[in-house]
C-alpha cells in the first residue's frame, strides 16, 4: 500500500537511529566509569583529610589530585564533544521521521496514523 521509497526511508531512519543510540549508550558506559573514578578519588581524599593530624595537605598530594581531576575533566569534555553530535543526529532523525510521516499522510490521506504505523512496522520486521 505505502510506496517502497517511503518504507525504505523509514528503514534508513530507524537503522540510523538504532546505531546512534548504541553509540550514545557506549559513551554512557564510559561516563559511568569516570563517575566511579571521581567517587573513588573523593573517598581517598576524604579518608586522607580525615586522618590528617593537622589541617594541611602536602603539595605533592595537592598536585596529584589536581592532575587527576584535570585529566578526568579533559576526558569527560572529549566524551561530551562526541555525544553532542550524536544527539544532533537524533534530533535530525526526529525531524526526518516527522517529515516522512507528513509526506506519507499527504500521499495517502485515507490512511490513519495507526494504519501507517502498522504497515511500516510490518516492513521493518522483514
* Residue-range domain boundaries for the chain: 4-124
Cell of 111: 490512511
**Can you give the pTM of this predicted structure?**
0.72
Q: What is the pLDDT of residues 103-122, one digit of tens each?
A: 999 999 999 999 999 999 88
Nearest CA to 31 out of 65, 81, 67, 93 is that of 81
Cell of 105: 499522510
Phi, psi of 57 (to 5 degrees): -115, 135
44 has a pLDDT exceeding 80? no
Grade residue 90 by pLDDT with cuts at 50, 70 and 90. very high
Amino acid at each position: 500500500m505505502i510506496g517502497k521509497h517511503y518504507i525504505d526511508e523509514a528503514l534508513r531512519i530507524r537503522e540510523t537511529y538504532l546505531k546512534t543510540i548504541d553509540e550514545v549508550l557506549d559513551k554512557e558506559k564510559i561516563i559511568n566509569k569516570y563517575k566511579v573514578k571521581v567517587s573513588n578519588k573523593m573517598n581517598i581524599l576524604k579518608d586522607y583529610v580525615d586522618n590528617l593530624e593537622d589541617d594541611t595537605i602536602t603539595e605533592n598530594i595537592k598536585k596529584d589530585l589536581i592532575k587527576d581531576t584535570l585529566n578526568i575533566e579533559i576526558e569527560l569534555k572529549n566524551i561530551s564533544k562526541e555525544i553532542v553530535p550524536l544527539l544532533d543526529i537524533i534530533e535530525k532523525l526526529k525531524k526526518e521521521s516527522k517529515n516522512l510521516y507528513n509526506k506519507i499522510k499527504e500521499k495517502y490521506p485515507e490512511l490513519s496514523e495507526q494504519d501507517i504505523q502498522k504497515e511500516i512496522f510490518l516492513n521493518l520486521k522483514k
